[in-house]
Every structure is written in structure tokens, then in C-alpha cells.
Amino acid sequence: MDPFDSNELKSAIRMPGINWNIAFFGGHFQITNEDWHMPPERHSAFEVIQIISGSEQIKIQDEVLTLESNDILLIKPNTLHEIWTGEQTSYFNFHFNVSDARFVNNLVMHKNLIFNSSKDTELTESLGAMRALLNQKMIYDFKTEFQILIYLSDFLLALMESVPGGAGKRTNSVILAEKLMELIQSNLATRIQSVLTNNVYSEKLPELNLAQMAQKLQISPSYAFEVFKKTYKQSPRQYLTKLIMQEAQNWLLIPEIRIQDISYALGYSDPAHFTRQFKKWTGETPRQFQKQVSPMQ
């Protein structure tokens, strides 16, 4: 990391700025019978399966794996898999994503990652702490949800230590992809802030000027697209779309800001169009989303 440019801070020791998205997409504990079967499926996130008792057979592409009691399996995103049991089995699973390219790349480079609770105790401790938060009534408050993220972070740290290669090296292409992601985030944040605080109105959706961003990084637009897609497994446009959805959810958490103003900030001149798009993204309208996260609204 480069030192500060100013004389006032030239002797300061810097820490990195971190803007990761760590998402926990929910999980569950279940006891299955001997003829339980999960049809082939794939997910856009990582999946963790921990066998508590019994055993499972998992077909991942053309390979069949057998998981015994205490085994932990990490399934990579977009991996077709099918699961069945031949005996009563209890298991715990959840889905997550992390936006850091070094972490993701090091996980996806390995074929199948299977760990054992008796050997990887730190993994087991974090999963056990997470399972202890399971609530039969399925009612979770903010404190519990925050604890889930803490235990997920503990699990990810232990996972990073358990996987060969650690968090991976930051190659030049990864660094460029990270800088491009920062530019996309910055451009969107600046645009939203201008609309909501300065009433600078625009009817156009946030644009992705890849050529302009590539010029700032002194690379070609095609290479910018290539390194971003290779690093994050999605195109810059797909990332921007997801980012707009996340920003919409973040701003909807602030009661003082009208849904109409949020729709304008995100480039929707017609709030009804924004409502339809938000429902397509999340399965609920902006008003339903607000009531779910804040029942008093």
C-alpha cells in the first residue's frame, strides 16, 4: 500500500479501505428419512453442507461423493448437484457469497472441498455456533442476524486457513478488476447522492461507461470486460444491476426518503416502473419490503 501524499500524513501507517459484500442467503437444519432425494439443482452462491449424523450421496456433475457424519462439503456456485440418502440423516446447510476476488478465486480453483469436523475444529466451532442460533419458531431479531454474520465471518476465516493457497495472490488482473469494481460503485453512489441531496434529476438509468472507466485504468474496454468477468464470474453490467438492487434496498430502509425519490435516484422516471422492477428482483414491492424490515411503517 502506498503512503499518503501529504506532508501532514507522510509518517502515518495506513489500513486498507474495505468494501466487500458478504451475503448470507439463509440456511436450514433437517432430519431426512432413508429415501429422501433432492433433484438436480444449481445455485448462484456457495453452498455449505455439514452432515450431523447418517450419510448423504451427492452427485456433482459426473462424480458421486459420499458424505459421512461430521463431513463438511463446500459446493461452488453454478455447480449442478443432486443429493439423496439411504438412511435417516441429519444435516445443516446454508448459502453465502463474498465479493472479494482473491477469496472466491482460491475457492473455485479447487475441484471439491471436503473437510472433517474432527480435523478442522475451527470450521466446526463456527458452524456449531451458527446452528445454536436455530429457532424452532423461525423468528430472528437484529441481534441474532448480526451474530449469524459474525459466525459466518469466523467460518470464512477458518475456511481460508483450511484451503490450500490461503486467500490467493492479488495478480495484476485481479487488481484491475477490483479497481473497475470500485469505479462502478463510486459512479453509482455519486449519481444517487446527487439526486437525493441536490435534486439533480435524470430520467436515464445509471450508465456503465466501460470505455471511460477503462481509460482511467489505462487499459482497453475489451480487456476491462475480460478481467472483470474472469475475476467476478459476471459481467460489469450484471454487477451494476445487482448493485442497483442493493442500493434500492439500502435506501428503502430509511423511512424519511420517499419511494418516489428513490426511484428517481435510480433512474426510473415512473415510480410504478421501479416498483415492477423491484418486485421482479426480490419478489415483493418496495412497500412490502419496507413493512417486512420495519413492521411499524
Q: Tens digits of per-residue pLDDT, 211-243?
A: 888 888 889 989 989 988 887 778 888 888 888
Q: 49-62: b or e for each residue (b if 16 or more CB lie within 10 Å)? A: bbbbebbbebebee
pLDDT at 132 over 70: yes
Which of 240, 258, 248 has its CA nearest to residue 187? 240
Q: What is the pLDDT of residue 207?
A: 60
Span(s) in the chain for CATH 2.60.120.280: 22-162
- Cβ 202 vs Cβ 268: under 8 Å: no
pLDDT in tens, 259-274: 888 888 887 878 898 8
Quick: pLDDT tens for 92-117: 999 998 877 778 777 876 777 888 87
Predicted local confidence at residue 295, as pLDDT: 47
The candidate with the shortest Cα–Cα distance to 217, out of 182, 176, 187, 170, is 176
The one-character DSSP state at 277 is: H
User: Is 172-293 CATH 1.10.10.60?
Assistant: yes
pLDDT of 198 above 80: no
Span 75-90, average pLDDT: 91
Q: Where are the domain boundaries for CATH 1.10.10.60 in the chain?
A: 172-293
The least confident of 13-17, 28-32, 61-65 is: 13-17
pLDDT at 83: 95
Do 233 and 227 meet the contact criterion of CB atoms below 8 Å apart?
A: no
Question: How many angstroms separate the Cα of 209 from the Cα of each of 108, 138, 191, 229, 236?
Answer: 29, 44, 13, 16, 10
Give the whole-number percent of the chain exceeding pLDDT 70.
90
Q: Which of 47-51, 140-144, 188-192 has the lowest mean pLDDT?
A: 188-192
* Arithmetic mean of pLDDT, 122-130: 91
The predicted-structure confidence for 4-24, as pLDDT tens digits, reads as follows 777 888 788 888 777 677 889
The mean predicted confidence, pLDDT, of the chain is: 83
**pLDDT range class, residue 165, cuts 50, 70, 90:** low
Q: Which CATH architecture has domain 22-162?
A: Sandwich (2.60)
Q: How confident is the model at residue 130 (pLDDT cuts 50, 70, 90)?
A: very high
Q: Tell me what pLDDT residue 297 has.
A: 45
Cβ 113 vs Cβ 163: under 8 Å = yes
